[in-house]
Chain A
Amino acid sequence: MAHQSTYQPKPGLDKWLDDRLPVMRMAHDTMLDFPTPRNLNYFWTFGGILTFCLMVQIITGIVLAMHYTPHVDMAFASVERIMRDVNWGWLLRYTHAVGASMFFVAVYIHMFRGMYYGSYKAPREVLWFLGVIILLLMMATAFMGYVLVWGQMSFWAATVITNLFSAVPFVGEPIVTWLWGGFAVDNPTLNRFFALHYLLPFALLGVVGLHIWALHVPGNNNPIGVDVKSKKDTLPFHPYYTLKDGFAIAVFALLFAMLVFYAPNYLNHADNYIEANPLQTPPHIVPEWYFLPFYAILRAVPDKFLGVVAMFGSILILFLLPWFDTSRVKSGTYRPLFKWFFVIFVFVCLGLGYLGAKPAEGGYLTMGRIFTTYYFLHFLVILPIIGLIETPKKLPNSISEAVLDDPPDSGGAQPSGAAASPEKRL
């Protein structure tokens, strides 16, 4: 770890274990006494929220797997049995299904946070890389989990997504047959998707471990993007951030519970309560909401192969983000021009999500094409150029200067009326 260990094992068992396997020391240094910038805002709680989500998915998933049957003749019925007969089965399944959506809400906020505050910049490129790998693993896992239900949307999502690989020149068709283990999505496909849906979350857990390791080497970025310079800039992780994260997780869990108990199918699709029928495609097939922006990009391109390239490219381009952004200033707060382009970029991503749910025709298609073009321009042209032409605002010298020495009547962080008589608030 980057900082000096402060762990003091108690004599006896603690000391004995510490000399043999210093796990308690590691836990202490990474989770209790880790020096953390004192100015982190609530956007920094999403890391903890994501860890919570992963645990929820793994725990509910393992329990669901005890009741689920991965066979084309029985899968759909076994999910219905979970819903109707298994004790608390409805709660476990709804938590798992809604949990996948909450997971993606959190990961997208977490990523936009990183983009705004420049958390992908040196020395955090590897940390950002591991994050993109986590996103890819999450997508693969969620896609295969959705197939397990074996409803109409499951089946046709599986068909359309696996067929994306048929666009690969020359070897496309053999790849698709290999993925299916047959000549269509069928029992072998369901079986292997179950095996992989069980496996990937644990692979994910491993990558999350690396992600946190890569975080603890340079330490956290922070809202002003100025590196930690002295001890005055930091606070120990516990109790300051364990409590802040804990509070955020509680609020997040509240929203989560509202969906589970009051609108469990709000983000689901009614057609997925019809058992898969390989001979009939539903009239409107749409992916899960968290794939919609990418689906809009796929459909914006009129050529099959190039459409698939654009779709995968829109995710893979994130790997190169640290090199497209030419500005040395991390935080968007001090980048007057970037700030506005960031807002447009978020709008374009949300817009693509909206368009992905609409039929690909007429005005929707035109908008889809404009937004797709903009999405790529943001990385390939806009970011490199604004980094070169923009004059950033003056950065504070240190975190402690920015948050502790804010002169009360400068109109800085607080309205002057409130700051004029702070004692009244006590």
Chain B
Amino acid sequence: MATETDDSTRRDFLMIAAGSFAAVGAAAGLWPLIDQMNPDASTLSLGTTEVDLSPIEEGQAITVVWRGKPVFIRHRTAEEIEAAKAVEMDQLPDPLARNANVSTDALATDVNRTQTGQEKWLVLIGICTHLGCIPKGQRIGDSKGEFDGWFCPCHGSHYDTAGRIRKGPAPRNLDVPTFSFVSDDVLRIG
């Protein structure tokens, strides 16, 4: 005959087993309700954008849209490239390249921020890494900040001519998206 303690542990076991089963079921039911808020298939499929670079003169910049985000493409002048190359790594608040085309631990040298042979083209996601404003510096007459690259007016972040954060609250360099050159004049983003 089962003693009283035996009985209650058996009962506890059944209660816990039933409770856990219900909890797993509830969690499984909850997941679709949470995950439905993530980007849907049509949003994810907005894959690549191709850009004709031939009309962009040296010193000019254009903004294109990729996955709903602005992408800055700047045709840099020789001085701008020189200035970016002259910067020592210890002057950078964020020493990482943040370039989807190179390894994640690559340093933020100018070479690692661009593509070899195409250094004059700087391609960046034009979203301030602080809280997401669009930095100024694309248009003629815009303030380009203290480092001659971009300036975010929202909370005062300054980026240099390689799109690296130099001063202000933004924690990271502007991201470089995945891109490749289809030909010398055609850029594919994504």
Contacts and interface: CB of A to CB of B under 8 A. Distances in A.
Contacts of A162: 132
B67 A183 contact: yes
A279 B68 contact: no
B151 to A, nearest CB: 11
Contacts of A188: 37, 39-40, 43
Interface in A352-379: 359-361
A276 to B, nearest CB: 12
B169 A307 contact: yes
Interface string B118-131: 00000000010011
Contact of A159 (B34, B132, B171): B132
Given A182-B68, A278-B70, A304 B171 contact: yes
A179 B36 CA distance: 11
A358 to B, nearest CB: 12
Interface string B18-51: 0000000000000000100111100100000000
Interface in A279-311: 279-281, 283-285, 299, 302-305, 307
Interface in B132-190: 132-134, 152-156, 169-171
A163 B132 contact: yes
A123 interface: no
A186 interface: yes
Contacts of B130: 163, 304
Contacts of A183: 39, 43, 67-69
Nearest to B134: A281
A191 to B, nearest CB: 10
B170 to A, nearest CB: 7
B134 A184 contact: no
A299 B68 CA distance: 27
Contacts of B34: 178
* B: interface residue count bin: 20 to 34
B79 to A, nearest CB: 27
Interface string B56-97: 000000010101111000000000000000000000000000
Nearest to A301: B169
A305 B132 CA distance: 14
Contacts of B133: 156, 159-160, 281, 285
B38 A177 contact: yes
Contacts of B153: 281, 283-284
A118 to B, nearest CB: 38
* Pairs A-B, 4 closest by C-beta atoms: A163-B132, A163-B131, A281-B133, A184-B68
Interface of A: 156, 159-160, 162-164, 166, 177-184, 186, 188, 192, 278-281, 283-285, 299, 302-305, 307, 359-361
23 contacts: A160-B131, A160-B132, A163-B132, A166-B131, A177-B39, A178-B34, A179-B37, A180-B39, A181-B43, A182-B39, A183-B43, A184-B67, A184-B68, A188-B37, A188-B39, A278-B68, A279-B70, A281-B133, A302-B169, A303-B169, A305-B171, A360-B155, A361-B156
